[in-house]
Amino acid sequence: MSGIIAAAFAALLQQAAPHPSTQALYEPPAIRPFEPPSDFGRETAQGDSATDLHRPALEAPVTVDSYARSYEAGPADAEIAYDQGVASAEIHADQAAGPLGGHWGIVDAEGVVLLDLVLNDGGGPVEGGWRGPAGSGDAYVVDGTLRLDGLGTVMLERAGDGWRGRLRAEGAARAVTLTRLR
């Protein structure tokens, strides 16, 4: 019986793989994979390093004949990306703006701009500010009425590209239009 136990124990001790010391050492492949250079990701884009970042001060007038082809160095990749980001943000803000968002002028029947008005109409409450000869203050729209804090109100009606209404201020009422200034 001890022979059977010894045989079972010997079978358990057998190794399926060769001993690690008998395996071949690692050898690199004949064709090496891509290995980026040490400055990978830190190199400047082609054409960006050809110009000085800061130009020296002028010591004498520069004539037009001094320029070979262009007057300024082209923008770097970072400058182009920044300009694209600003343009994209402006387009997104314009798309999100409501019909009252922007810079307006409150104009009387003779075409005189009485007040400057800036409103933010971005999905929430329409609010902003006004400025004129009588001072300045907050502006907001509630139920189609433009309220000018410290001055009066304007009942708004859509009129083409702008708005019209009656400005009630200081006990008097006059017909006005809201026209975009920018």
Please, which residues bridge with residue 21 across strands? none
Q: Which two tokens stand for residue 134?
A: 């009588």
The helix (H) or strand (E) run that includes residue 150 is none
* Contacts with 160 (C-beta within 8 Å, 6 or more apart), sequence order: none
* Contacts with 8 (C-beta within 8 Å, 6 or more apart), sequence order: none
Instruction: Read off φ and ψ for residue 11, nearest 5 degrees.
Output: -65, -35
3-class DSSP state for residue 125? coil
- Tell me: the pLDDT tens digits for 125-171? 889 999 998 889 999 998 889 999 988 999 999 888 788 999 998 88
Q: What is the DSSP-derived secondary structure letter of residue 124? A: S
- Tell me: the pLDDT tens digits for 23-52? 677 776 666 566 667 776 676 666 555 556
* Contacts with 28 (C-beta within 8 Å, 6 or more apart), sequence order: none
